Amino acid sequence: MSLLSVKNLEVKFATAEGEITAVDNISFDVNPGEVLGLVGESGSGKSVTARSLMKLNADNTRYGEGSSMTLSADGETINILGLRTPRQLRKVRGDLVSMIFQEPMASFAPAISIGSQMVEQLMLHRKMTRSEARELSIDLLDKVGISDAPKRFKQYAFELSGGMRQRAMIAMALSTRPRLLIADEPTTALDVTIQAQVLDLMKDIVAEYDMGVIFITHDLGVIAQTADRVAVMYLGKIVESGPVRDVIHNPAHPYTQGLLNALPKLEDLDAPLTPVPGDIPSPLERPNGCVFHTRCQKAIEGKCSAMEPPQVTIRDGHVSSCFLNDPQNNDPQNGDLA
Ligand SMILES: Nc1ncnc2c1ncn2[C@@H]1O[C@H](COP(=O)(O)OP(=O)(O)OP(=O)(O)O)[C@@H](O)[C@H]1O
Ligand SMILES: [Mg+2]
């Protein structure tokens, strides 16, 4: 059984301009020991998806009727959307699930030292004594590359640089040994050498404890190195997903192809970058039909703007939602897909 199973997750927000759909009917699974990468441009719904897994979205959130998220661990299956009381919610907020937030400042209380917060967590979620918790916390701060860890342990979040705060948060999230780790852009604030070091450390700890991981980033290069499978999001939809190498070597969806084309190529530094044209539309103006059709250079006139594309299996475990991938689509414009 999967560790996490998300089915038909739909997340809407009530706003002054009307209701917006931030996540539109997405489904995915994560197994123990597996790293699922979630990629997509800013505003595609990655963080909203992550926060939904801990029921941490704002008060204006409405989950779709058919949405379900279940977490199965230690012989127990938890229906995440059914959790209500703080005691129930603690299951997914610190016990079984840990999150590394995109904004590290937000996850540390400003008036409590980094060390006290780490120790409290360990005493609460891992039932450690204060001195055991202190020892482990300092050890982990050291492992994520924070020099002079015993001194940093006593400091407050605002006393640390951005990169150091990010690393402290990674140490804190890993310390409780969650079954599922959600890492939302965990290494964006770090320079590349530290990033590589932190990614290696995360990989080791994740393998050692057989954690499932959802790794969110804009960076397909980081995904290629870190993830086993990848799901590509665009405007609230998963447009393509599959084993990471297969998706990167044989992208089937024009959006994934566009993201890969936009990456700088080390072997040809003079080659011009080709960004995906246009901007992601506002969720208040979600296009009909395929959500990507307004920016797609391969869109089929009259079809992609009118109908939702089917989900097509490319090969084992690799699926893409595009008319061009559909063998039933005999349109003359259905040219070279690669
Ligand atoms: N509480 C809220 N009320 C209204 N809209 C919201 C709320 N939270 C998120 N959104 C909207 O949901 C959409 C998806 O946001 P989300 O933060 O998930 O994007 P993202 O993929 O994580 O982007 P980024 O890469 O910039 O972090 C955005 O349009 C955002 O403005
Ligand atoms: Mg985000």
What are 201-207's contacts with CB under 8 Å, separation 24+?
A: 201/143, 201/144, 201/170, 202/170, 202/174, 202/226, 205/174, 206/33, 206/35, 206/181, 207/33
> Is residue 58 within 6 Å of ligand 1 at its C-beta?
yes
pLDDT greater than 90 at residue 243: yes
User: Global pTM?
Assistant: 0.91
pLDDT band with cut points at 50, 70 and 90 for residue 232: very high
- How far is ligand 2, taken at its centre, from the CA of residue 274, in Å? 23
Task: Please work out whether the CB of residue 236 comes within 6 Å of at least one atom of ligand 1.
Answer: no
Rounded CA-CA distance 240/312 in Å is: 9
Closest C-alpha residue for ligand 1 atom 26: 42
Ligand 1 atom 9: residue of nearest CA: 48
Residue 245 has pLDDT above 80, yes or no: yes
Q: Are 187 and 215 in contact (CB under 8 A)?
A: no
Query: Looking at residues 149-154, what average pLDDT do you find?
Result: 96
Confidence of residue 219 (pLDDT cuts 50, 70, 90): confident
Near ion ligand 2, which residues have CB within 5 Å?
47
Nearest ligand 1 atom, CA 48: 18
Candidate of 20, 23, 54, 182 to mutate for ligand 1, largest count of ligand atoms within 8 Å of Cβ: 20
Nearest CA to ligand 1 atom 25: 42
- For residue 330, what pLDDT is reported? 55
**Res 142 pLDDT > 60:** yes
What integer is the mean pLDDT of 89-97?
Answer: 91
Span 65-74, pLDDT tens digits:
999 999 999 8
Which one of 12, 41, 48 would you pick to mutate in the ligand 1 pocket, going by the greatest count of ligand atoms within 8 A of its CB? 48
pLDDT band at 331 (very low <50, low <70, confident <90, very high): low
| pLDDT score recorded for residue 215 | 94
In this prediction, residue 206 carries a pLDDT of: 84
Stretch among 63-72, 78-87, 99-108, 275-284 having the lowest mean pLDDT: 99-108
Q: Is 16 in the pocket of ligand 1 (CB under 6 A)?
A: no
Q: Whose CA is nearest to atom 11 of ligand 1?
A: 22
Question: Mean of the pLDDT values across residues 108-128?
Answer: 93
What's the whole-number mean pLDDT along residues 57-66?
A: 94
| 94-98, 99-103, 253-257, 321-325: least confidently modelled range | 99-103
58 pLDDT exceeds 50?
yes
Which residues have CB under 8 Å from 252's CB, separation 6+?
A: 240, 312, 314, 318, 320, 322, 325, 337
Is the pLDDT reported for residue 194 higher than 80? no
| pLDDT of the residue at 337 | 45
pLDDT digits 0-9 by tens, 170-179: 899 989 999 9
Which parts of the chain fold into alpha helices (H)? Answer: 46-52, 86-89, 114-125, 130-143, 149-153, 162-175, 192-209, 220-226, 244-249, 254-261
How confident is the model over 260-287, as pLDDT tens digits? 988 877 788 887 778 888 989 998 899 9
Segment 92-106 mean pLDDT: 85
Whether the pLDDT of residue 335 is over 80: the answer is: no
Mean pLDDT of the chain: 90
If you measure from the C-alpha of residue 64 to the centroid of ligand 1, how many angstroms do you get, rounded to a whole number? Answer: 17
Distance from the alpha carbon of residue 48 to the mean position of ligand 1, in angstroms: 6
- Percent of the chain whose predicted confidence (pLDDT) is above 70: 97
- Whole-number Å distance, alpha carbon 153 to ligand 1 midpoint, is 33
| Nearest Cα residue to atom 18 of ligand 1 | 45
pLDDT of 202 reads 80
* CA distance to 38, 50, 213, per residue, from 207 (Å): 19, 21, 10
Whole-number Å distance between alpha carbons of 180 and 261:
32
For residue 293, the CA-to-ligand 1 centroid distance in Å is 21
Q: Is the pLDDT of residue 197 over 90?
A: no
Beta-bridge mates of residue 229: 36, 243
pLDDT digits (tens, 9 = 90+) for 16-54: 999 999 999 999 999 999 999 999 999 999 999 999 999
